[in-house]
Structure 1
């Protein structure tokens, strides 16, 4: 039925990570990617979680760094929200060993969140043999990965409400238990992240996407027949 793998990855393992280094406050979220062939053109969101002061400068600095990255073919702004920008980027798979490792094992990148320190990545493989192929490729090509969790897709779907991924459910339950949603708050995002053993940016992303999915699932159908459930964030 398939297997889900959660892992952490050094920034340098993906081209965009080089532009994120030493950019505190910025968080990059790749849209789900199924790598096909040597060229991958994903979309990604860049969020600025810090204050609005100098936000334009921070984003402009990130864009300059991306354009100076050798493996990047092009960077195009697609849209904007209050605290973030949606981009389309093209890079050559020949220079991205981690992407090649996923392709070689017939895997898919479901989620990848980058901060100034690391990537947190979620992959899907057809079976455990494919995971072994992926790990072997990483070892042979010197790609340092840290496995966080490996779980069968069947267990992943049955252990939590269908609306949430396991990472989102764990983050929401931990945050609730620690009083993160109380007013005044009884804990900080950093403390929740420490409990989850992830970065504050990753913890915040999981909480935000989880809440978004729960709200979308709970909202009624609009008068025009449009259901908010179609907007789920399943990564």
Structure 2
């Protein structure tokens, strides 16, 4: 049975935190992470106001081969990071255990990750790994999305839930459509792209934790 974990880790003890160095009060978002060429490739979104210094800092890191611009929209830019993670990489271990990254945000001091592991055994293996590697991981919450105490939002972050609920209530999914993503974005004071990403990730998380959740053992 799958299990969802919310955790925090100091930026200095997290390999991406050391590579993706930012200054307060900037915050960056790890949109997704996919295995390309046998290594985890993160896709990172950041505000354009710190784009130049961010790019320069990342390119100077010895483990980074390249940082590629994927998309830019209004005040945000999405990058793909081509890097060489070590065998002891936390992200490599996460992928090896078939865990799904549901969301991640980073600041100058800490990173918060939300992960969905396929089983409690996989979670135990992950915990053994970071304890053996002496990585300072703080588990904030562990829950199974199929249990009553999992809460009503099935792993969605508050912004994802709020945006998806607002979209449904305003008729975004009605035929004909009654509101655009730009109008939704204006109501939240964010970009059209940010609304689209919230809806995409929120729906993906909702489906993963409901329709695609493992059947309980007999």
TM over 0.5: yes
Please show how residues 28-177 of structure 1 align to structure 2 within 5 Å.
28-35=28-35, 38-47=38-47, 55=49, 58-94=50-86, 97-155=89-147, 159-161=151-153, 165=156, 167-168=157-158
SS in 2 for 1:144: coil
SS in 2 for 1:94: coil
Cα gap change, 1:161 to 1:131, in 2 (>3 Å): closer
Deviations 1:152-195 (A, max 9, x none): 02138963156x72x42xxxxxxxxxxxxxxxxxxxxxxxxxxx
* Alpha-carbon distance, 1:66 to partner: 0.5
Cα RMSD after superposing both structures = 3.1
* Alpha-carbon distance, 1:146 to partner: 0.3
Higher fraction of helix: 1
The range that moved more, 69-78 or 140-149, is 69-78
For 1:212, the equivalent position in structure 2 comes to 163
Q: Distance in 2 between matches of 1:25 and 1:113?
A: 13
TM-score when normalising by structure 1: 0.67
Contact 1:97 1:143 in 2 (8 A): no
* Alpha-carbon distance, 1:105 to partner: 2.7
For 2:201, the equivalent position in structure 1 comes to 233
The range that moved more, 94-103 or 70-79, is 94-103
For 1:5, the equivalent position in structure 2 comes to 5
For 1:23, the equivalent position in structure 2 comes to 23
Matched residue count = 186
For 2:174, the equivalent position in structure 1 comes to 221
SS in 2 for 1:41: strand
5+ residue gaps, structure 1, are 49-54, 169-206
* Alpha-carbon distance, 1:115 to partner: 0.9
Contact 2:99 2:116 in 1 (8 A): yes
Deviations 1:4-26 (A, max 9, x none): 00000121344442255451132
Contact 1:15 1:69 in 2 (8 A): no
* Alpha-carbon distance, 1:81 to partner: 2.3
5+ residue gaps, structure 2, are 182-194, 206-218
SS in 2 for 1:119: strand
